[in-house]
Structure 1
């Protein structure tokens, strides 16, 4: 089953990887359902897709609210009659040393990066289980593969996503529901992640790194499209992707 005519729900769709993936998948013939908090951005992306001959709808979505994730899935089914792929991409990265005790930011990362993924899975899993097919893709990070000073809580949420997705893959095999999973571990990708960093020292170091190495989110969109395009009997479970010049 190719990308064409698949219904793909994307969270964190208003910029970066989510926006790039939505536009590429729509160009390849998918019907995309976009969720994020910024309505004006979503409106513009949907307009761009439609003007280029694609199909897209959106709904303002806060992934920290379980009902919002459910409503986004419901919109996909109402608009297009089904759902084939859930791309759980929303995330934020307000990194800082643990000693800075930015507990409010820790909680926000847990809410968005981990609970947001859990709520997305909860919203789509009953349909995928019933129809015995479907695909869940999640954006983790290279910080979900190795530890980085300043990224303790961010990394913890991304390690959790890694484990969660692997267990989901294994359980779907045991339960014979045929749900495919793919976890993406991006390195320095041009996005709005750095704008969430309030710790000045951490922000300065991250900006220097990204200025030197970052590649466009379209590179990750290509990986997302590749994963979606695989035959239903094939799971490509993990992708680690980043600048060829960066020693992540």
Structure 2
């Protein structure tokens, strides 16, 4: 009896333990989904939680690890599909040589800006300046390895990428506006030539009528066309004088 109760208790504990780990795992998955969806959209390194010097092999390994964590078939979070797609896009960007080079160029620009700011600060800080001279550059290397510098670099990269994206969108907007203007001009030109052709065709279509009318005019045709108004004829008493004879009142 005691052994049976002990066995039942152990089974319950095992079930409780499995449930506990399942709940913890689910919380971790949900947290990872939330983290991914809150990442800076222009920096794929943030999505994959990788440093800027990560190799393509490290990118692939990290993607496999995180994608399994938030895969829609295993994660119950309602936005797991969006998080999974964001990771896939991040990996694609970092494995594309051209895209990767562009992002790293912005990272280097951010690093140079931060280091220039640091050097300017050292000029005012005599103790730090002396220390950097004594250690022959090791001081700067130590600074780059600190969490403070990494966080500053992360924020500066965000700033630069945002600025570059704004410029790109602004340029794209200008290009679209110019393309729209050129298209409008082209359509107006086509419409103008269309009207001109229609006018020429209409003019050519009345050629016979115009020629016929001209011939009748040259022949001195006396029949007026229907609806045509002719000037009054002149009545004269003296063939050498041309004047209109006024009517004579009678009675």
TM-score, normalised via structure 1 length: 0.23
Structure number with bigger Rg:
2
Structure of higher RCO (CA pairs closer than 8 Å, 6+ residues apart): 1
TM-score (norm. length: structure 2): 0.23
